[in-house]
């Protein structure tokens, strides 16, 4: 059978709530419990899977915080199957800080990255699809009416940029082309200027790249000075012109009603001494795309051919206590929902099931759509049981399921054993078993988990589901 890290591709919130069997096990032994070494140790607190509508507790944080992060060539992207970007770098530092603040013996929190279009950050956060949002978000009064903001981690300027060697013009601010929805358009309007519309699908980074390449059709643009400086080494033929007067505060957006989480983030930002954005830029520069593209932004049609397969997916999912959209996401990754039949051996069908695996699952004909999807559903249910443990969080359980579906159970077990030998946590995928996988099998396995995650989140959005609902990932 046929990343980030499920960035989770990210990472959409796709891990299910515990089954009744697992819930009972957790009740007997809380996940957050440390090994008992003395009778005087304080009682442990069972860790919540996600924040939900609960108030954030810095000493006993939930297992995951959902971060809506803007896909983009500067903010969040994949390189060799691994996530990078200035927001990714800053958020990893935040995750480390939050785990330093938790109570002794409390289980760790991890950030679950949900890549989305920058224009969706505030609406999705407002709808409850995440706990915080990141994407070089400018703080405006309009946005403040919808969500809360952390204290700014950057004071930015927006400046005119043109190709090096072009003559400076007094009316440069009157001739700028900007992408649709750019914050720069708002700034120009505030200064009595009107921007030209850049071609549909343009990004600030793409416009800068075209200017750097001396594209004859490229027009000067208005861009974040922080972004221009970030790309200065990669795009060395740019010339920065006049800047608009306003200084722009850039911050993370936080769900309203979570002041404790917001305050924890503010403490983290204050501790950085104003250097967090600069440090993130330094960590990101070496991974920037040569052509200013964002690999994560490859177009996806989440409903392509889905209607044809939906009845079978739903039937199989119900029989195996799975979410049918997860089956659909795997099918999309394996074959783009276009069955590839191999009757002479090898993975086959829409789900690319190995014939021997299908027989082990009680399916004699793995080539037809119904039998193929049935075998895949039963195998995923089998993998779910394999990774059923109070020591494995629901999200990690699913990551291991997907990794084993792609690479095989034995291979994943080897990776977990190697992770333990290296002092990593064999029960956590991101930054632990995935780190070992990257070294031993390359980025393809991490990319598989990440891509399925991305397709799943896209299906959820199209289906009108709340991406934040962890229970929807494996069980309806």
Question: Do residues 264 and 45 touch, judged by C-beta distance below 8 A?
Answer: no
pLDDT for the residue numbered 295: 64
Average pLDDT rounded to a whole number, residues 114-142 = 93
Pick the more confident residue, 35 or 284: 284
Question: What is the reported pLDDT for 44?
Answer: 52
- Of all residues in the chain, what percent carry a pLDDT higher than 70? 83
pLDDT of 5 strictly over 60 = no
> According to the model, what pLDDT value does residue 10 have?
35
When pLDDT is averaged across residues 114-141 and rounded to a whole number, the result is: 93
Mean pLDDT of 423-447: 90
Domains of the chain, each with CATH number or no CATH? 7-152+251-297 (3.40.190.10), 158-246 (3.40.190.10), 306-472 (1.10.530.10)
Stretch among 19-28, 118-127, 229-238, 325-334 having the lowest mean pLDDT: 19-28
Contact predicate 49/15, CB 8 Å: yes
Query: Mapped to the 3 state alphabet, what secondary structure does 245-287 carry?
Result: CCCEEEEEEECCCCHHHHHHHHHHHHHCCCCHHHHHHHHHHHH
pLDDT of residue 296: 53
Beta strands 77-79; 82-84: pairing state:
antiparallel
Report the alpha-carbon distance of residue 366 to residue 375 in Å, rounded.
7
Work out the percent of the chain whose per-residue pLDDT is above 90.
55
Q: Quote the CA–CA distance of 400 and 413 in Å, as a whole number.
A: 9
8 Å CB contact between 149 and 253: yes
Contact 223, 72 (CB under 8 A): no
- Return the pLDDT at 189: 87
Residue-wise pLDDT tens digits, 262-293: 999 999 999 998 899 999 999 999 999 988 88
Measure the CA–CA gap between 449 and 39, rounded to whole angstroms: 42
User: Confidence band (pLDDT; 50, 70, 90) for 464?
Assistant: low
Contact 145, 120 (CB under 8 A): no
Q: What is the reported pLDDT for 217?
A: 82
Listing DSSP states for 103-166 in one string gives PTTPPP-EEEEEEE-GGGHHHHHHHTS-SEEEEEEEP-HHHHTTSEEPPPSEEE-EEEEEETTP
With a cut of 50, say whether residue 258 has pLDDT above it.
yes
Q: Which residues of 257-296 are buried (b: 16+ CB within 10 A; e: fewer)?
A: ebeebbebbbebbeebeeebbeebbebbbebbbeebbbeb
pLDDT at residue 456 in the model: 80
Measured between alpha carbons, how far is 99 from 32 in angstroms, rounded to an integer?
Answer: 13
Q: Is the pLDDT of residue 423 over 80?
A: yes
Q: What integer best gives the mean pLDDT of the chain? A: 83
Q: What confidence tier does 447 reach under pLDDT thresholds 50, 70, 90?
A: confident
pLDDT (tens digit, 9 = 90+) per residue, 71-116? 999 999 887 667 899 999 999 999 999 999 999 888 888 888 888 8
Between residues 379 and 180, which one has the greater pLDDT?
379
pLDDT tens readout for residues 341-375: 988 888 999 999 999 999 999 999 999 999 999 99
The predicted pLDDT at position 26 comes to: 30
> Tens digits of per-residue pLDDT, 37-73?
333 344 455 677 778 788 999 999 998 899 999 999 9
222 pLDDT tier (thresholds 50, 70, 90): very high
3-class secondary-structure state, position 102: coil
Report pLDDT digits (tens) over 162-198.
998 887 776 677 789 998 889 998 898 888 888 888 8
User: What pLDDT score was predicted for residue 463?
Assistant: 66
Q: Is 116 exposed, middle or buried (0-12, 13-18, 19+ CB in 10 A)?
A: buried
Give 80: exposed, middle or buried? Use CB within 10 Å, 0-12, 13-18, 19+: middle
Give CA–CA dist 275/269, Å, rounded.
9
Q: What is the mean pLDDT of residues 121-130?
A: 92
Q: How far apart are CA 350 and CA 347, in angstroms?
A: 10
């Amino acid at each position: 059978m046929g990343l980030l890290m499920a960035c989770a591709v990210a990472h959409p919130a796709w891990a299910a709530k515990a089954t009744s069997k697992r819930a009972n096990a957790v009740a007997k032994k809380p996940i957050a419990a440390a090994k008992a070494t003395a009778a005087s140790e304080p009682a442990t607190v069972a860790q919540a899977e996600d924040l939900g509508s609960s108030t954030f507790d810095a000493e006993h944080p939930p297992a995951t915080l959902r971060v809506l992060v803007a896909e983009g060539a500067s903010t969040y992207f994949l390189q060799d199957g691994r996530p990078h970007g200035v927001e990714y770098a800053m958020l990893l530092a935040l995750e480390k800080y939050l785990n330093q603040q938790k109570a002794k013996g409390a289980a760790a929190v991890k950030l679950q990255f949900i890549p989305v279009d920058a224009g969706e950050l505030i609406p999705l956060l407002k709808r409850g699809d995440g706990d915080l949002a990141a994407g070089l978000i400018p703080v405006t009064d309009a946005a403040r009416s919808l969500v809360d903001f952390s204290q700014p981690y950057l004071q930015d300027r927006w400046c005119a940029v043109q190709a090096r060697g072009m003559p400076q013009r007094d009316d440069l601010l009157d001739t700028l082309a900007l992408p649709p929805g750019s914050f720069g358009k708002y700034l120009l309007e505030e200064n009595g200027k009107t921007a030209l519309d850049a071609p549909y699908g343009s990004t600030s980074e793409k416009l800068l790249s075209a200017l750097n390449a001396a594209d004859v059709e490229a027009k000067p643009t208005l861009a974040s000075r922080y972004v221009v400086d970030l790309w200065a080494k990669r795009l060395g033929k740019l010339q920065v012109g006049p800047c608009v007067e306003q200084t722009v505060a850039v911050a993370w957006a936080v769900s309203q009603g979570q002041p404790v989480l917001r305050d924890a983030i503010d403490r983290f930002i204050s501790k950085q001494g104003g250097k967090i954005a600069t440090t993130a830029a330094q960590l990101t520069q070496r991974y920037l795309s040569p052509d200013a593209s964002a690999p994560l932004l490859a177009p996806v049609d989440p409903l392509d051919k889905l209607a044809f397969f939906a009845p079978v997916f739903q039937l199989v999912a119900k029989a195996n206590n799975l979410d049918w959209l997860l089956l659909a996401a795997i099918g999309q990754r394996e074959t783009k929902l276009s069955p590839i039949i191999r009757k002479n051996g090898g993975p086959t069908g829409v789900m690319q099931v190995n014939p021997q695996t299908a027989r082990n699952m009680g399916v004699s004909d793995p080539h037809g759509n119904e039998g193929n999807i049935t075998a895949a559903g039963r195998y995923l249910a089998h993998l779910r049981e394999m990774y059923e443990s109070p020591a494995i969080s629901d999200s990690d359980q699913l990551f291991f399921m997907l990794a084993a579906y792609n690479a095989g159970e034995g291979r994943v077990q080897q990776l977990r054993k190697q992770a333990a030998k290296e002092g990593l946590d064999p029960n956590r995928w991101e930054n632990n078993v995935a780190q070992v996988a990257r070294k031993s099998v390359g980025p393809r396995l991490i990319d598989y988990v990440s891509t399925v995650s991305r397709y799943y989140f896209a299906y959820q959005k199209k289906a009108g589901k709340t991406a934040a609902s962890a229970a929807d990932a494996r069980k309806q």
